[in-house]
Amino acid sequence: MEFTAFFHPEPGHVQILVAGEPVIRAVSLRTGKENKRLQVELGPDVSTAVLDRSGDFAVVQTKGSMVEVWSVRREGQAPRRVLGPVGPLDQFGDFQHGFQGDGSKYFLANGNSIRFQDVADPDDRGESYVFAEEQQFLSASQDGRTLLRRIDKEVVNILHLDPKLWKKDLCITLGRDLTADERRGFPTWLPDRICPPGGR
């Protein structure tokens, strides 16, 4: 029997996912027995799944290498998908994802994009960064805002997702605001004017 094990948000328990079964089980470390009250049943396409620190959400990888986030701890309600499917995930595992701290903001750095979304807020439009080329994300800080990425076979660098710092550096470097052509590669939510007159 093949299975994966992770920490469980319930103290004194570990979460177990048996290959081929769409159920996250909770096993007591003291007794070695399953706690059926903490069992979470997900959809049939689940390949792997893990609960977040709060136990409110499960990050699911489907058999098609897509990512979904499910809300799993609502009394009287069955678990339901709140994000996704997103992907497919990088086939070599060069992606990073997780929840920021103990909150409900989830991040996924995969392929040519990095996405942040509050999965507890159905009205949250999220925040995305899209790159012209595929990226290999090797590691990420806990908040997902600092990433280690491979540029080519010999170059690895650190990417800081800090729009205020980018704005400052951009305005100092260019000495002017962005042109309409330059804006095409940026998110649509950018303000009309980024740099003050004179670029500084």
Question: Cα 24 to chain center, whole Å?
Answer: 20
Q: Which domains does the chain have, with CATH numbers?
A: 1-88 (2.40.10)
pLDDT of amino acid 34: 95
What pLDDT is attached to residue 200?
55
Residue (of 145, 194, 187) closest to 172 by Cα position: 194
- Which pTM value belongs to this model? 0.77
The pLDDT value given to residue 194: 78
- Rounded to 5 degrees, what are φ and ψ at 162? -135, 90
Contact 43, 23 (CB under 8 A): no
pLDDT tens-digit readout, 58-90: 999 998 899 999 999 766 788 999 998 998 998
What kind and span of H or E run contains 130?
A: strand 127-130
Q: Please give the pLDDT value at position 128.
A: 87
pLDDT, tens digit only, all 200 positions of the chain: 788 899 999 999 999 999 888 999 999 999 999 999 999 999 888 888 999 988 899 999 998 899 999 999 766 788 999 998 998 998 888 999 999 887 899 999 999 999 999 999 988 888 888 887 888 999 999 999 999 998 778 889 998 888 777 778 888 888 888 888 877 766 666 677 778 776 55
- The pLDDT of residue 2 is 87
Taking the CA of residue 92 as centre, how many other CA atoms within 13 Å lie in the half-sphere pointing to its CB?
A: 8
